[in-house]
Structure 1
Amino acid sequence: MTPPPEPTMYADISQLVAQNQLSSLHLQGTDAWSRVWSTLRTKSDSGPQIKLIEITTNVVTPELFAYLSSYSGIEKLSLLHPDGGSREKSDRLANTFFETVLPLHATSLVELSCPAGYESRFSFGTHNVHVISLLHKLESLEMSINAGAVREVDKPDVWIDEDGTEIPIFSIGVSVEAEQAEIDPVVTLLLETAATLPFLRSLAINSAETESNRGAWCGNGRIHHTGAVDAAIEKAMQAFRCDVPCSTIVRAGNHTYELQPLSGDGSAKECHSDADPEMLGYQQR
């Protein structure tokens, strides 16, 4: 059976983009819009290939990475929850991104956002820390973390408010808890890496959705995965200790943190510019 012809609008808009000397592009749509990346990669008769310095897109495909691999110099790159449709395909895309694409732009990137749509190698870990460490001009970074194992926990029946009143809780789905021992080393590695990037001022740590929730809806076996992982990330943040100052503001879960000197009991204390080096920890702002 012959596939239906591609809508002409894809070709029309691709040509429109290519004919204008753009420096930035925000593109959202289906994978069919990959035609735009292929067009940008091709040199036109009227001039050289367009080399964008800013891209925001959810059309994260091999065509995008082929385009980004054709030049260097991008400054702001935001991949909106990159996802290949399965763990295997997402991992292949991520491998291309970190091994082939990102090193080409390591000396120019100032903003990078690539939190995974579902758990995959797009998330931060030992497999890509060496590449992230190369981004010495980076000022803003947003990445996700994979949870690994989670375990089911009993759902609370009531919530007690400040006045001691018991309020019944009716929840849908499966309540889980992330394995803290698997989250702690990844968060620690990310925070330590952030401290080595001299211009980094903003770091966002997200939880990646579990592959088992793909296609699942409330009441259809969906587990409360990201909330459990967010809670574990925040626990790891609060447990982190170091003796190297870092001005990066970190957003994790529902809170924002900054590194502050700690008193003997682990709480924040007033910081004096002439104080001797001491133990530091992330505290909520």
Structure 2
Amino acid sequence: MAEDYYSEDSKWIPGVVVDSMATLPVLDDFRLTSDKPSFGRNFDCYFDRLASLRTLTLASSNPVHLRFICATLSHAVHSSPLSSLRLTTKHPGMSSPLNGIADLFPSLQLDHGSIPHLRSLRSLWLSYSSGKIWETLRIECIHLSEIHTDYVQQALLEYILSYSGLERLTNDGDEDDGNDGDDDDNGREHLEPLVEEFFTTALPRHKESLVALSCRGVWEGKWSFGAHNVDLLSQLHKLKSLRMNVNVVSAGYAPPSVTINRSSGRGRRELFEIEKDSADRNLVHRFLDLVNELHIMDVAILPAAPLRYRKSYCGNPIVRHKEIVIRAIDAAVREFKSSASGKSEVVLLAGDNFYKMDYMADRYRAFESVNLSWPYSYARLLEEHE
């Protein structure tokens, strides 16, 4: 495996890496991360020299870097039977790091040299992917076992519906709402045209194989955990990892005597509470019930941003809102008790804090705080906190 991190202070690295690649014809794992605008212009990876790549990871902290090496990236597919391809950016909500991810495969649908190599692909990570990618995978019957994306669209759902056997699915971003204008979008409906199809039709296709699901939209809505999807999620009996958001609802305002200082004056503080199901059960508690029912081990329940801030240019209101929600999630987790029996190895990330389930003195099980940091290795975590 070759791994490289390129920064502005290491301009000599591109030449060294390229020269080294020429001497490693059997290299099977190549990972490249950049953080400066000059990266793509100074770096020309000769992937056509490598015929044994199985895992290719390219990550950029700026969405424009990797587009400069699209032509050479396409050689990786032409030259190697990849099993894992990861192309990511750390800037959600911006343009594709490849200036249109389809540019990576300029003739993917027609090129008989690339399609055979793509048939070995099992893991695909894409940021802001083109629908043409998913359409091609569907038409060519290339069935992935792992999908990681931050951009849900109709073509992706049609692809997921076309087969069964998906094991790991991550959606950590928005869906394509088809609305690039300035229309009012405070309502949730037009932002979630795909969510019902995802939970009711696409996900059940893989209920016999799915072991990891991360569904964390940026905004509050039906992509979050709730009464609308809990029954569907309960069908995923093999699930071992589940990460989702939870919504809050307004609980009115603090009494007039309770005020907060703002730069514009003093105002009443809006109160929020975790959504509840039809039985008036806190949805964080219902989420934890599901975790116990399915014996899920790796769990996260997290806040999302309110839709009313979707077009805000200032992130401070979102940060303050998430802090409020995190406190509500944390309080709900600390209140939770379960009479479920059997050994539990679940580790829970709730907001900013980690918890591990343990027996209490009254024989009920509850979550106790553990000292961890994100990201973490679940396997190593269990070893350290047995």
Which TM-score tier does this pair reach, normalised by the shorter chain?
0.7 to 0.9
Please tell me whether residue 40 in structure 1 is matched to residue 137 in structure 2. Answer: yes
> Residues 8 and 228 of structure 1: is their aligned pair in 2 closer, same or farther, counting only changes over 3 Å?
closer
Q: Which position in structure 2 is the counterpart of 1:218?
A: 314
Q: How does 1:151-162 map to 2 (within 5 A)?
A: 151=252
Please tell me whether residue 29 in structure 1 is matched to residue 128 in structure 2. Answer: yes
Contact in 2 for aligned 1:249/1:257 (Cα 8 Å) = yes
Aligned-residue offset at 1:224:
2.4
Q: Which position in structure 2 is the counterpart of 1:284?
A: 369
> Residues 138 and 156 of structure 1: is their aligned pair in 2 closer, same or farther, counting only changes over 3 Å?
same
Task: Work out which of the residue numbers 283, 287, 296 in structure 2 matches 1:190.
Answer: 287
Q: Which position in structure 2 is the counterpart of 1:143?
A: 244
Alignment length (residue pairs): 248
Contact in 2 for aligned 1:18/1:40 (Cα 8 Å) = no
> Residues 99 and 13 of structure 1: is their aligned pair in 2 closer, same or farther, counting only changes over 3 Å?
farther
Residues in 1 aligned to 2:138 and 2:315: alpha-carbon distance in whole angstroms: 45
**1:105-130 superposed Cα distances (whole Å, 9 cap, x missing partner):** 00101111011211111111111111
Residues in 1 aligned to 2:309 and 2:102: alpha-carbon distance in whole angstroms: 35
Aligned-residue offset at 1:262:
2.4
Q: Which position in structure 2 is the counterpart of 1:51?
A: 143
Contact in 2 for aligned 1:213/1:223 (Cα 8 Å) = no
Q: How does 1:72-221 map to 2 (within 5 A)?
A: 72-85=164-177, 87-149=188-250, 151=252, 176-180=270-274, 182=276, 185-198=282-295, 200-218=296-314
Residues in 1 aligned to 2:292 and 2:153: alpha-carbon distance in whole angstroms: 31
Contact in 1 for aligned 2:163/2:205 (Cα 8 Å) = yes
Aligned-residue offset at 1:155:
6.8
Task: Work out which of the residue numbers 348, 352, 360 in structure 2 matches 1:254.
Answer: 352
Aligned-residue offset at 1:207:
0.9
- TM-score, normalization by structure 2: 0.58
**1:42-69 superposed Cα distances (whole Å, 9 cap, x missing partner):** 13xxxxx101111101121011001100
- TM-score, normalization by structure 1: 0.76
Residues in 2 aligned to 1:189 and 1:71: alpha-carbon distance in whole angstroms: 30
**1:172-226 superposed Cα distances (whole Å, 9 cap, x missing partner):** x99654225749610111100110113x211100112110010113389767222
Which one-letter code corresponds to 2:368 in the other structure?
Answer: Q
SS for the counterpart of 2:289 is helix
Residues in 2 aligned to 1:50 and 1:125: alpha-carbon distance in whole angstroms: 32
Aligned-residue offset at 1:9:
2.4
> Residues 192 and 235 of structure 1: is their aligned pair in 2 closer, same or farther, counting only changes over 3 Å?
same
Which one-letter code corresponds to 2:305 in the other structure?
Answer: E
Aligned-residue offset at 1:89:
3.2
Aligned-residue offset at 1:11:
6.1
* Gaps in structure 2 of 5+ consecutive residues: 1-99, 178-184, 371-386
Contact in 1 for aligned 2:151/2:173 (Cα 8 Å) = no
> Residues 59 and 143 of structure 1: is their aligned pair in 2 closer, same or farther, counting only changes over 3 Å?
same
Contact in 2 for aligned 1:14/1:35 (Cα 8 Å) = no
Residues in 2 aligned to 1:8 and 1:197: alpha-carbon distance in whole angstroms: 38
Residues in 2 aligned to 1:262 and 1:7: alpha-carbon distance in whole angstroms: 51
Please tell me whether residue 227 in structure 1 is matched to residue 323 in structure 2. Answer: yes
Aligned-residue offset at 1:13:
6.2
Identify the structure with bigger relative contact order (alpha carbons < 8 Å, sequence gap 6+).
1
Contact in 1 for aligned 2:174/2:218 (Cα 8 Å) = yes
* Gaps in structure 1 of 5+ consecutive residues: 1-5, 44-48, 158-168, 265-277
Structure in which a larger fraction of residues adopt strand: 2
Contact in 1 for aligned 2:247/2:275 (Cα 8 Å) = no
Which one-letter code corresponds to 2:357 in the other structure?
Answer: L
SS for the counterpart of 2:243 is strand
